[in-house]
Every structure is written in structure tokens, then in C-alpha cells.
Amino acid sequence: MTKWVYLFREGNAEMRDLLGGKGAGLAEMVRAGLPVPPGFTITTQACNAYFANNKRFPEGMWDQTLEALREVERETGKRFGDPANPLLVSVRSGAKFSMPGMMDTVLNLGLNDRTVEGLARLTNNERFAYDAYRRFVAMFGRIVKGIDGEKFEEILRSYKEKTEGKQDTDLTADMLKQIVADFKALYQRELGEPFPEDPYEQLRAAVAAVFDSWMGKRAVDYRNFHKIPHDLCTAVNIMTMVFGNMGYDSGTGVAFTRDPSTGEKVLYGEYLPNAQGEDVVAGIRTPKRIAQLAQEMPEVYKQFEEIAQRLERHYREMQDLEFTVERGKLWMLQTRRGQRTAAAAVKIAVDMVHEGLITKEEAVQRVEPAQVYQLLLPRFDERDKQRAADEGALLGRGLNASPGAASGMAVFDADTAQALGREGKAVILVRPETSPDDVHGMLEARGILTQHGGATSHAAVVARGLGKPCVAGAEAIRVGVKQFTANGVVVREGDLISIDGTTGEIFRGPIKTVVPEFKKEVQLQELLSWADEFRRLQVWANADYPRDAKVAREMGAQGIGLARTEHMFFEEDRLPIVQRMILAETDEERQQALDELLPIQRGDFEGLFREMDGLPVIIRLIDPPLHEFLPSYDELVQEIADLRVEMSAAKTAEERAEKEEAIRQKENLLGSVAAMREANPMLGLRGCRLGILFPQITVMQVRAIFEAACNVAAEGVKVYPEVMIPLVGHINELRRQREQLEPVARQVMAERGVQISYKFGTMIEVPRAALTADEIAQDAQFFSFGTNDLTQMTFGISRDDAEGKFLLKYVEWKILPDNPFQVLDRGGVGKLMKMAVELGRKTRPDLEVGICGEHGGDPSSIHFCHSIGLNYVSASPYRVPVARLAAAQAALGETQRDR
């Protein structure tokens, strides 16, 4: 017979799979001899069997439950349903991972019209007993049976209205009796059946309700989003009730063993005297800081503090504790890993290493890479945020869709947001939801708040792309015309609000923001220095300018994985020369323009090389189609059309001739632009195809690279240039470029009499290059995966066209698990990458392989890059710390953190 039920003393912390997080925590506390009310856990396996069994309890489960209940009766000396000495229990769900949307708690189960009298007699407190009873009836009705809680509240309010103080505590025992009767009548009306007096029926229904809540919509959605398997299922914890509301020698509270905001090593929490847990949650009375417990019940506080420290040491992790004091006796109700801010996560991990509590490996595994990124984003000053919270400015919470924090004027349409934003005003764009029509406003806003939409909604995706904070799907707010309401407060256009995209919080009024400086984040730096010890992947950065390279190096970059030479071409003073080069009608004209560009490019490269003294710098030769450097076809057509109208309206022959000449010039240009137009420029004349057709351009670039290298080498700079050819699909493309360009490099070095150690390699961004990587590696000393283009071609999806038109819908409809431009698609693109690495190294065992697509900064993609044996990932400079941590975690294996 399967064992479906475990007494707390039969379990331990390792049994999370079977007993859930809460059950395992309680069991572990019992094993450690801590004061835990007697109880037992029905296993996740039982829940699984319940669903497999068409929602019937598996055979033996109920009998084992009754048996465990008997054992609890023996331990407590009370009996379930016994009016003389009734055993009351709480029933709680408890999955392996803490999860919103599942059934929380039913307290005081076991009460009925007869046991309530017994409770009154035993406690000598009729009011207390009926207070517990009315709470139980409401909780059972609401949580187990799904009756709208507001209906119970309404009845309660009507009684409170009759009292003087209008508080719960003002209700008399008689009123409470009457309330219980009204609640039961409501129950009967709503469900068409009487409230169950039989405690066993109550228990059976509560257990089934916990099981059912596993498949509730919110729980299922949450698991889908967080990729938690649906077959883990939940356990049910049944525990003897203890009462924090038996007078002022009683109370209930929650505490963290360290400050979850800052990570400081202090006991941090709050408690409420003479109260049950739900009163804390309901927020009707303001709880006290935990420190006050030391004054009010010094013995209890001391014992709790000891237990807290013991649990933290035992778990070697910051704990989130729940406790109740019943008539001066401390009971522990829960211990679990405490949630924390990014800053706290780093500080706690680092401190615990210094305290000898955990190893450096563990510390590195305990911080999420995304948290490192958050740490470097603007965030609210913790104290000012606390001030705002204390002042009741919290309007509600939404989904933490894009991290960072911002304060600004609420604005309700994109046009206004754009207009005010351009005036330099700080603006938060608030919309029911966003669409591509709102992007111009999002671009100018400091942050985005939406009422609807999930973590992959348009607002969320665009905001993450822009690196702006976003709170999405804040169903607590109601967006109307030029205003929104939340929690009864009306926020109008122009009112200041603050949103925290890292936590999902929305505040009224401004909150000070802090912009972190990497240099000052000493604890983060320490953590990352440990990460560096463990990781095998190097972390390089994508940087086009010396200033970016400088930042990247400060952040810990070990090289430049991608310097895009064409970005330099787009600069204002250079573009006219580039255009002359493109539009040249003779080879001499073209060469002349290139000769002008040469010293400019050389200067750019010198700057990069100096910043990266001693480290490799990969320079990619020209990549975009040439027409990108020219005015757009559409604009030219429009300009000519406008000139035509002006000409036909011209008053004088002179004016007419002038317009005519202007038209002629524009039409000439239009002709050149038209000749270069492409149906699918992404797959057109660009990358190495340009270099092959117009070798003068790449010859100039290679000359600039090697002249720059020789120049800075003469200054004593150690320079390691790597020349990268883009868009190679066939070995012969690479070979031809190599045969054209390596002689240039050798010639420059011979001219200068300097020997530079360099590499020659290629992007792998065309599927065919990956498929034939064994051939490509014959001529390439390094590969760099351009996963942006590789993803576009492998999926046959143009990112520009798709993201607005169908890709987000694909993610929303679960056709794709993620946006493949954010999280590397392992099944397709990743498979190609794996092939390419294997084939390439077969030809050239010391092949250097890295990634320079955007995925190089995404933790999950970095794991994959580690797993297929890349040498480095190259990320944008601000993602370098994220990548350092993610790379270390990949090397250390799956993180041991809870989710």
C-alpha cells in the first residue's frame, strides 16, 4: 500500500518533491526539535493520483489521513469533533515551489455548533470561540466553496456599523453568534445546501479543494509562464490550530532572518498582538515591527531569535518564517527560503561566504543573472520607497514586465507622451494595453504601465527591448479617459506616479531613483570575481566605439567580440564621403572617397585598440547593403512629387527653372537608389557579397585595421586584431576574401616593419555556413555566431516584419515558447550551432568559437553556449556582468536555488 500521509516527524527537508516546500519545512523543524503544532502532510503523489483517478482520493489515502489525525489527537490530547475538548486544524496547500493562485489556508477547521461551545468553555472565552467560528464559516465558504468573500464582508460590516468603534474588536459574542447564523444562511442561499456540521466532511472538502486549486486557471497560467511541470502537484498540510488571538499574551507574525530589501543581517519582520494570521494579511490593523516583540515579550523574542538563527544556519539560507504565540508559548508555523531584492540577493550571498556559511560556488549560484542586470538599472531609493509605502502611496501591483524604476507624469496617449517627452518632461505612459501605434510614445516615456497583458504582451516586449521599466497587466487599476483609478484613488493626466518594473509596484507620487555605478557595487564585484573563478566561457563585449569599449572593460569584458565598422560610416561627418564612394561613376572617384575614409577608420580602430590593450578585438568588415547609406527611395519619390507640384505652381520662369533643376538632381539620385533597391535586402547584396563585388572597400578597411594596429603597437599597446567576414555561406566566399585581404595585411606590416598577431575568421549567421562548418573552418581561424541573422534565416522570419505582425501573437498563443530573438531557439538554431561547433573543430581543433548575437547577453542562451563548448559569449557592455554570472552558473551546473 502506498504511503500517502506523513506525520511531520516522519519527513525531512529533502522530501520537497513528496511533501511540498511547506510540508518539508515543517517536518525539518520538528526533526530539529522546534516547537511546531502537531500535524501531518498528504503527499503530492496523492494529489497526482487524485487527478489520475478522476478526482477521487486514491485508495487508502483517507484511511491514512484518519490514522494520522488519531496520532495528532494522541499528541495533543484533543479530539477532532469532540465538543468536550475539540481538536481544530488548519489546512494549507504546499507545492514544491511556492506559487500564487493556489488555495492558501483554511483555519479553525473542526468547528461546528457543538465544538464551538466546547472551545468557549475550554478557553473560557465565548467571544473568542465565536470569532473563530465566524472566521471559519467565511473562510470555508470562500476558499473551499468559492463564495464571493465580499458577501461575508458585507454582513460583517453591517454588524460593525452598529458598534461604537466600528472595529472587529468591538463586536460582542452575541453579535458574533448572530453573524455565524447569517453566514450559514448565506452559505445555504449560495450553494443550496447547509453548512457542513460534520468536521470530517469539512476536512474531506478542504483537502479536495486544495487538490483542485492545483488546476485552477491562475495556477496553470503561472506554471506555464514559469515552465513548472504540471504533474508536480501539491501536498496538503493539516496542522493543529494554535491561536494568536487569545489575548495580549498571544500574537502572530512573519519575519525574515535578514532584511529582504537590503540584505542586512538583522531579524526583519512584523507581528500583530492578539491576532490570527489572516488579520495581518487583511491589513486592517497595522502590524508592529518585530523589534517591538523584544520589549513586549522578551522571552518569546529571544527564543524566536535563536530559532531564526538556527534555521538560517541549518538551511544555510535566508529564511522567511511564520510564527504564532499562544498565551506566551511560541509556535513555528513555517520556514522557507525568503524572497529578496536583487541587492539583497547579492549582499546575502557574499556575506554568507564571509560568515563561512556557504561556499563561493553556492554564492554564485544563489543570484539570478537577471538580478545583476536589475542592480545596474535605475531603482528606487529603498528608504524613499518605504516612506511612500508608509504613507499609503502604493496603488497596487501588476506584472514585473521589464525591470527598472521610474517616476513621472501619468499620460494616457502616445502622442501626448511623445510631445511632453520631447519637451524633456518625465512621463509614464499608461494604457489599457499597447499596440505598434503606441511605440512613438513609448520611445519618449520613462516607463510604461498597462492594465491588461502578460509578460509577453506588446508593452512588455517593447519595453524590455527599449530597456525601460514596465508594469503590465495591472488589473488592479482601471484605465479610463485621461485618468485611471486604483484602490479608490483617481490619477489624472499630469499627476505624478512611480512604477517599479522590478517588483511590479505602482505608487502615487514621486519616489527618488538611484542610478547605480558598477564601480561602487563592491559586493557585486566580489561575487563576480568568484564567478570568474568558476566559469569556462569567456565574456567579451560588442562595442563599436572606444567609449563603449571602455565601459565594457570596466564591466569585465575580456575582448571585443563585435566592432561594427559601418556604424562609423553613419556618423554625420562621414556619411557624405561614404555616399560619394557609393555613387562614384569611375574607379578613381571611388578610390578617392575611400582614401578619405581610410584615415578616419584608422583613427576609430586606434581608439578601440588602445582601450582594449592586451585583449582581442574582432572587427567585422562592412555588412549592410550600400543603399542603407543613401536617402530612402520613398522619401526621394515624395520630395520629387512635392517639387513637381511646386514647379507647376511656379510664378516665374526663373523659379520654374530652379525647381526643374532640383527635380533633375533628385531624379538622378533616385535612379541610383532605385538600381540598388532590393526585394529582400536582408538576403541581398550585403556582407561578404559586397566585399567580393567591391573589394576596394574591404581592402581599405583591412588597411585601416593594420595601419591602426601598427601605430598603437609602436606606442607599446598590445594589440590582437581579428578580421571578421560577415554573411559567409560557402567556403569559397571566405577564401576569396581571405586571398584578397591577407596580402593587404601582410603588406601593411611589411611597410611598417611591425609584426601583428592577428586572426582571420567569419561570422556564422547563414544556415549553410553552419551546415558546412567543416569546410569553412579550413579558412577560418575563428567562428562567431551571428544568432540574430541565423535565427531569421533558420526560421525564415524577418524580425523587422514579424515582431509587430505575428511573432508576439505566436508567443501569446504558445505557438513558440519564447521570442526566438530574445531566447535562443535550441531545437532549430541551437541544433545548427552545435553542428557547426562540432564540424568546425573536427577540421581545426583549436578553432575559436563565440557568439555575438543579442543572445550572448541572455542567461538561458549563455547556458546553451556553455553546453556546446563555445570559447566566449559577446554581449552589450551592460550585459557583461550578467554574462559573467550566467557563465559561471552554467559551469557549476544547474543552480540549486529554489524557483
The site that binds its own copies (CB under 8 A) totals a number of residues, namely: 58
Which runs of consecutive H residues, i.e. helices, occur in 784-830? 787-795, 799-802, 808-812
Give the nearer residue to its own copies in terms of CB position, either 644 or 746: 644
Q: Which residues contact 679 (CB under 8 A, 6 or more apart)?
A: none
Indicate whether 815 belongs to the interface with its own copies (CB under 8 A).
yes
Indicate whether 829 belongs to the interface with its own copies (CB under 8 A).
yes
Indicate whether 404 belongs to the interface with its own copies (CB under 8 A).
no
Contact 352, 361 (CB under 8 A): no
Residue 723-762 contact track with its own copies, rule CB under 8 A, x = bound:
----x-xx-xx--x--------------------------
Beta bridge partners of 760: 723
Assigned C-alpha cell, 736: 576569396
Beta bridge partners of 483: 492
- From 20-28, 373-381, 708-716, 795-803, span contacting its own copies (CB under 8 A): 795-803
**Nearest approach, Cβ of 683 to its own copies (angstroms)?**
4
Indicate whether 765 belongs to the interface with its own copies (CB under 8 A).
yes
Indicate whether 805 belongs to the interface with its own copies (CB under 8 A).
yes
Contact 633, 578 (CB under 8 A): no
The C-alpha atoms of residue 640 and residue 128 are separated, in whole angstroms, by: 86
Indicate whether 825 belongs to the interface with its own copies (CB under 8 A).
yes
**Nearest approach, Cβ of 768 to its own copies (angstroms)?**
4
**Nearest approach, Cβ of 660 to its own copies (angstroms)?**
13
Q: Which residues contact 811 (CB under 8 A, 6 or more apart)?
A: 456, 817, 818, 819
Name the DSSP letter for residue 629.
G
Among 827, 845, 846, 894, binds its own copies (CB under 8 A): 827
Among 441, 767, 857, 859, binds its own copies (CB under 8 A): 767
Among 796, 845, 846, 894, binds its own copies (CB under 8 A): 796
Beta bridge partners of 57: none
Q: What is the 3-state secondary structure (H, E, C) of 845-878?
A: CCCEEEECCHHHHCHHHHHHHHHCCCCEEEECHH
Counting Cα atoms < 13 Å in the Cβ hemisphere of 492 gives: 0
Give the nearer residue to its own copies in terms of CB position, either 338 or 820: 820
Counting Cα atoms < 13 Å in the Cβ hemisphere of 11 gives: 32
Give the nearer residue to its own copies in terms of CB position, either 536 or 644: 644
Among 215, 496, 640, 754, binds its own copies (CB under 8 A): 640
Indicate whether 341 belongs to the interface with its own copies (CB under 8 A).
no
Give the nearer residue to its own copies in terms of CB position, either 39 or 624: 624
Give the nearer residue to its own copies in terms of CB position, either 610 or 831: 831
Assigned C-alpha cell, 491: 490619477
Beta strands in 156-303 (DSSP E): 234-240, 251-256, 268-273, 288-289
If you count them, how many residues does the chain have? 899
Give the nearer residue to its own copies in terms of CB position, either 378 or 729: 729
**Nearest approach, Cβ of 798 to its own copies (angstroms)?**
4
Indicate whether 683 belongs to the interface with its own copies (CB under 8 A).
yes
| Closest residue by Cα to residue 618 from 857, 861, 784, 858 | 784
User: Rounded to the nearest 5 degrees, what angle is found at the Cα of 750, between the Cα atoms of 744 and 752?
Assistant: 105
Assigned C-alpha cell, 181: 447564523
Among 470, 793, 870, 883, binds its own copies (CB under 8 A): 793
Contact 550, 611 (CB under 8 A): yes
Indicate whether 795 belongs to the interface with its own copies (CB under 8 A).
yes
**Nearest approach, Cβ of 440 to its own copies (angstroms)?**
16
The C-alpha atoms of residue 830 and residue 827 are separated, in whole angstroms, by: 6
Among 377, 832, 882, 890, binds its own copies (CB under 8 A): 832
Give the nearer residue to its own copies in terms of CB position, either 79 or 223: 223
**Nearest approach, Cβ of 760 to its own copies (angstroms)?**
18
Indicate whether 794 belongs to the interface with its own copies (CB under 8 A).
yes
Indicate whether 772 belongs to the interface with its own copies (CB under 8 A).
yes
Among 649, 657, 714, 750, binds its own copies (CB under 8 A): 649
The C-alpha atoms of residue 884 and residue 873 are separated, in whole angstroms, by: 9
Indicate whether 797 belongs to the interface with its own copies (CB under 8 A).
yes
Give the nearer residue to its own copies in terms of CB position, either 223 or 879: 223
Indicate whether 684 belongs to the interface with its own copies (CB under 8 A).
yes
What dihedral do alpha carbons 703, 706, 712, 716 form, nearest 10°? Answer: -160
Contact 410, 392 (CB under 8 A): no
**Nearest approach, Cβ of 722 to its own copies (angstroms)?**
22
| Closest residue by Cα to residue 220 from 230, 233, 210, 209 | 230
Residue 600-639 contact track with its own copies, rule CB under 8 A, x = bound:
----------------------------------x--xx-
Among 809, 823, 891, 892, binds its own copies (CB under 8 A): 809
Indicate whether 798 belongs to the interface with its own copies (CB under 8 A).
yes
Give the nearer residue to its own copies in terms of CB position, either 222 or 694: 694
Give the nearer residue to its own copies in terms of CB position, either 239 or 832: 832
The cell 498565551 sits on which residue? Answer: 327
The cell 572617384 sits on which residue? Answer: 589
The CB density around residue 259, as the number of other CB atoms within 10 Å, is: 22
| Closest residue by Cα to residue 278 from 92, 546, 427, 538 | 92
**Nearest approach, Cβ of 742 to its own copies (angstroms)?**
17
Among 813, 845, 846, 894, binds its own copies (CB under 8 A): 813
Name the DSSP letter for residue 98.
-
- Chain CA centroid to CA 738, Å: 43
Indicate whether 693 belongs to the interface with its own copies (CB under 8 A).
yes
Indicate whether 685 belongs to the interface with its own copies (CB under 8 A).
yes
Give the nearer residue to its own copies in terms of CB position, either 515 or 675: 675
Task: Just list the catalytic residues.
Answer: 458, 852
Among 509, 546, 603, 681, binds its own copies (CB under 8 A): 681
**Nearest approach, Cβ of 837 to its own copies (angstroms)?**
15
Give the nearer residue to its own copies in terms of CB position, either 653 or 679: 679
Indicate whether 678 belongs to the interface with its own copies (CB under 8 A).
yes
Indicate whether 779 belongs to the interface with its own copies (CB under 8 A).
no
Give the N- to C-terminal CA distance of the chain in Å, as an integer.
33
Indicate whether 775 belongs to the interface with its own copies (CB under 8 A).
yes
The C-alpha atoms of residue 445 and residue 741 are separated, in whole angstroms, by: 46
**Nearest approach, Cβ of 778 to its own copies (angstroms)?**
13
Contact 438, 457 (CB under 8 A): no
Beta bridge partners of 489: 486
Beta strands in 718-816 (DSSP E): 720-725, 759-764, 782-785
Q: Which residues contact 775 (CB under 8 A, 6 or more apart)?
A: 731, 843
H or E, element range at 598: helix 587-611
Indicate whether 656 belongs to the interface with its own copies (CB under 8 A).
no
DSSP class per residue in 559-585: SEEEEEHHHHHTSTTTHHHHHHHHH-S
**Nearest approach, Cβ of 769 to its own copies (angstroms)?**
8
- From 243-251, 543-551, 682-690, 754-762, span contacting its own copies (CB under 8 A): 682-690
Indicate whether 585 belongs to the interface with its own copies (CB under 8 A).
no
Q: Which residues contact 573 (CB under 8 A, 6 or more apart)?
A: none
Site residues (vs its own copies, CB under 8 A): 634, 637-638, 640-641, 644-645, 648-649, 678-685, 689, 692-693, 727, 729-730, 732-733, 736, 765-768, 771-772, 775, 789, 792-798, 800-802, 805-806, 809-810, 813-816, 825, 827-829, 831-832
